[in-house]
Amino acid sequence: MATVGEPTDGEALIPGAEAAEAAAQAQVADEAGLELERQEILAAQGPVLHMACAMCLFATLLCIMTVASIGLLVYLAYEYSKHSTDNCDVPLQLWVQVVSLTALFNLACNQHDRYGTLGARIFCGWSFDPENPERPPFRVQFYNMLIPSFTALWNCVGLYWVSKAHEPRDGFHPGGNSTVHLPEEKISRCTEVAAGLLSAVRAYAGFNLMYSMFILIGVAGLSQLLYFLARRGFFRVSDAAPPGSLERNTEEVGLDDPAIVDHPQCPICLEDFGENEVLVKTKGCGHVFHKEHLQDWLQMHRTCPLCRFDLGRRSSA
């Protein structure tokens, strides 16, 4: 029998029951948060699957076109071997020789390794440092664009010469490369003496122009689409903040906040804060942003745009 002042068995169990109930509620809240995060991830999987299908289709077409390009190059080399000495009204042999030299140059100097390309090291005096990666200087970017641009231009020249093969024009003297004015009847037509080479040049130049445009549009389009989808939250990149990071690690503030007085511009868009705009301040580092712009930033990065404070953590600092 309990003495006066001592808690009864029921009273002694009350603190333990309250602790157990609190723990159960915390567990339910954690499970609800995990379930919400799982649903957000599942909702984002639809666009990701569509993007994956598009990338697989692009890669498949690229492989097919690459094999076709190699086949056309073999066809061009075969026709050149048959007509290497047949001079006619357009310099097809010269065009094939430049194509061959360009291909050899790309194989020798423009193959990428962990230090960049041999051509960039020789002609630009620059090499990529894996330990300290940095953006290539302008001269390297110009060099990287020079060979593809020249290749596309040379393909256009080849198609132009093919289109002129049937027209009366100044020709190349059979004994050399100098242009001379000869009567039309004394100039051999490529359609008569090198019809196979003419067809090979037309096929190779036309296909490679289409191939180059396909790569340019495909790579540029996919990169822009990936960036757009990531900013809109349809899928997450590896460095993105987890869902809910903005709400957990920021708080809404007004224009009278001391942090805004010292820094009245959004560090992301570089525009002044104004009335009727939703502004948020990070709890960990105290920086203020437009809420919309910070949300877009966290779709791509998990750190503060100014100080690199981790905004993807579960608990606010």
| pLDDT at position 186 | 54
Distance, in Å, from the CA atom of 270 to the CA atom of 248, rounded to the nearest integer, reads 24
| pLDDT at position 177 | 47
| pLDDT at position 14 | 53
| pLDDT at position 129 | 80
| pLDDT at position 174 | 42
Domains and CATH numbers, the chain: 51-231 (no CATH), 237-317 (3.30.40.10)
Going from the first residue of the chain to its last (317 residues), give the mean pLDDT of each consecutive group of 10, the final group possibly shorter: 52 59 68 60 55 78 91 94 88 93 91 86 86 80 90 94 73 44 58 90 94 81 64 58 82 85 83 86 87 83 82 60
Q: What is the residue-wise DSSP string for the chain?
A: -PPTTSPPHHHHHHHHHHHHHHHHHHHHHHHHHHHHHHHHHHHHHHHHHHHHHHHHHHHHHHHHHHHHHHHHHHHHHHHHHHHTT---SS-HHHHHHHHHHHHHHHHHH---BTTB-HHHHHHS-----TTS--PPPHHHHHHHHHHHHHHHHHHHHHHHHHHTTTS---EE-TTSS-EE---GGGSPPHHHH-HHHHHHHHHHHHHHHHHHHHHHHHHHHHHHHHHHHHHTTSS--TTSPPTTHHHHHEEEE-TT-HHHHH--B-TTT--B--TT--EEEETTT--EEEHHHHHHHHTT-SB-TTT--B---SS--
| pLDDT at position 224 | 66
Distance, in Å, from the CA atom of 106 to the CA atom of 111, rounded to the nearest integer, reads 7
| pLDDT at position 165 | 83
